Amino acid sequence: MQSKKIISRFFALDEEENARQIMVNWDKTSSQLPPLEKIEFIQDNFIRENAEKANISAPIIIQIIKQKKLLTKDAETLSFLWHCHQIINEGDNGREMAEAMPELENIPPESKGTFFILLAISGFPKAIVHWKDKGLPQNILLETYKDLNVWVEYYYREFNLIGIKKRALGWMQAHFNATLFKLGRLQFNVPRPFGNYLYILKDKKNNLRYLSAEGKKYNCNGLIDGVDDIWDEDGGWISTLKIDKNQITGNEINRKGYVEKNLTTFRLDDWKIILRPGDLVINIHIPAGEPLATDACRKSLSMANNFFAKYFSTKEHKAFVCYSWLLDSQLKGILKSDSNIIRFQKLGQIFPMSGTSDAIERIFGPHSTKDNIYSQTHQSSIQKTVAKFIDNGGILRNGGLIILRDIC
């Protein structure tokens, strides 16, 4: 089968670059396509067994198998599915490959998402071997793998269909490659250098202060200028940070999560820099599902400290970092002070972030926008109060949270 034919069938015209990446080795994989009954990952038993481990419910598994039969009846779709399975699971770059997948032109909408589920499930046996080779615990892999069902549920809410998006396929590769772990309530990436956001100082009495990194542009409210496309009409201001052998001077991030324009100086006799950009930190992700109970989060952070100390001992992290719509400083005025989201914010220091918040979709459901939320009935307290907030002209933002490793 000609690679050109596959490209014109499944890739949109603007996916040329992705097609180049995905269709690598097409001649080899297509020539090695086994007979249908010999392709293990599309056998009903394989799907049933591995989907159950991902917590996918029996009625949904039946639908996956039904859609799989329709997909694999078509010779081009079968060859392409086999090829994608090979290229995603062959090397170490499964995540990049998954993200370069096409939007699957010319596959019926009710089967598209199943195509990606089949690919996600197909990687699980290899992940078991990979985790074993790395000496990583299988029970954590099993817990982590259940994230697939969270994506299946999300897709169902969004499209009323069975499936996952290609983005979720990429996310699952991070789990399989052992770069993302679910430990209790939260998910954690392997330690990475902290971006250019802030410095943390500590004094002898364990008081903490947070200073913005230098060269960041803030608006008159102490937020990143341009966040949610709102620009300071007077041009905003740029943060400074000066360190010499005696002192450090910079713009403090206050307890409410805003950056102060006035400069503050700390004597290095009294204050020590305990975290700076480039130090190793662990990114936290908050999967949907269970409430964000503070005890569960604390336990999860402590599990992460133990896990990373044991399995990634050469990459000692100094802190955890999270970036999310949940970390908007304005939520303190919107939610009750004992709500889980506010209590989560209080586990560390919040700081301003750029980017556009996906709060509206997260709170009111897929396809929600600030203009259509009034046509729905609002059930939870956050839906009611956020609707009022938006009605009064409010705009929700993203925020960051940094939690020092020692507090857990």
Report how far residue 215's alpha carbon sits from residue 212's, in angstroms, rounded to the nearest whole number: 9
Report how far residue 49's alpha carbon sits from residue 61's, in angstroms, rounded to the nearest whole number: 10
Q: Pick from 108, 291, 355, 366: which binds ligand COA (CB under 6 A)?
A: 291
Which of 308, 224, 296, 292 has its CA nearest to residue 259? 224
Give least dist CB 308 to ligand COA, A.
Answer: 21
Per rule CB under 6 A, count of chain residues that contact ligand COA: 17
Count the Cβ atoms, other than its own, within 10 Å of residue 28: 10
Q: Pick from 380, 388, 391, 407: which binds ligand COA (CB under 6 A)?
A: 380
Which of 229, 312, 284 has its CA nearest to residue 402? 284
Phi/psi region, residue 362 (left: phi>0; alpha: psi -120 to 50; beta: rest), is alpha
Q: Pick from 1, 383, 389, 408: which binds ligand COA (CB under 6 A)?
A: 383
Per CB under 6 A, 341 contacts ligand COA: yes
Q: Give the range of 80-88, 332-340, 348-356, 389-397 binding ligand COA by CB under 6 A.
A: 332-340
Q: Pick from 292, 296, 395, 408: which binds ligand COA (CB under 6 A)?
A: 292
Residue with tokens 């990583």: 136
Per CB under 6 A, 332 contacts ligand COA: no
Q: Give the range of 16-24, 247-255, 299-307, 319-327 binding ligand COA by CB under 6 A.
A: 319-327
- In this complex, which beta carbon is closest to ligand COA, that of residue 193 or of residue 291? 291
Q: Pick from 51, 304, 326, 360: which binds ligand COA (CB under 6 A)?
A: 326
Per CB under 6 A, 207 contacts ligand COA: no
Phi/psi region, residue 367 (left: phi>0; alpha: psi -120 to 50; beta: rest), is left
Per CB under 6 A, 403 contacts ligand COA: no
Are 130 and 177 within 8 A, CB to CB?
A: yes
The helix, strand and coil proportions of the chain, stated in percent and rounded to the nearest 5, come to 45, 20, 35
Per CB under 6 A, 286 contacts ligand COA: yes
Report how far residue 119's alpha carbon sits from residue 139's, in angstroms, rounded to the nearest whole number: 22
The angle at the Cα of 52, spanning 50 to 57, to the nearest 5 degrees, equals: 140
φ/ψ of residue 271, rounded to 5: -120, 140
Per-residue mark of binding to ligand COA, 164-193 (x: CB under 6 A) = ------------------------------
- In this complex, which beta carbon is closest to ligand COA, that of residue 288 or of residue 407? 288
Per CB under 6 A, 138 contacts ligand COA: no
Per CB under 6 A, 401 contacts ligand COA: no
- In this complex, which beta carbon is closest to ligand COA, that of residue 249 or of residue 283? 283
Query: Which residue type sits at 56?
Result: I
Tokens, residue 219: 């608006």
Q: Give the range of 44-52, 96-104, 205-213, 323-331 binding ligand COA by CB under 6 A.
A: 323-331
Burial of 248 (0-12, 13-18, 19+ CB in 10 A): buried
Q: How many angstroms separate the first and last alpha carbons of the chain?
A: 56
Give least dist CB 340 to ligand COA, A.
Answer: 3
Q: Give the range of 58-66, 72-80, 244-252, 374-382 binding ligand COA by CB under 6 A.
A: 374-382
Give least dist CB 311 to ligand COA, A.
Answer: 25
Q: Pick from 157, 235, 381, 407: which binds ligand COA (CB under 6 A)?
A: 381
Binding region for ligand COA (CB under 6 A) = 286, 288, 291-292, 324-326, 335, 339-341, 362-363, 380-383
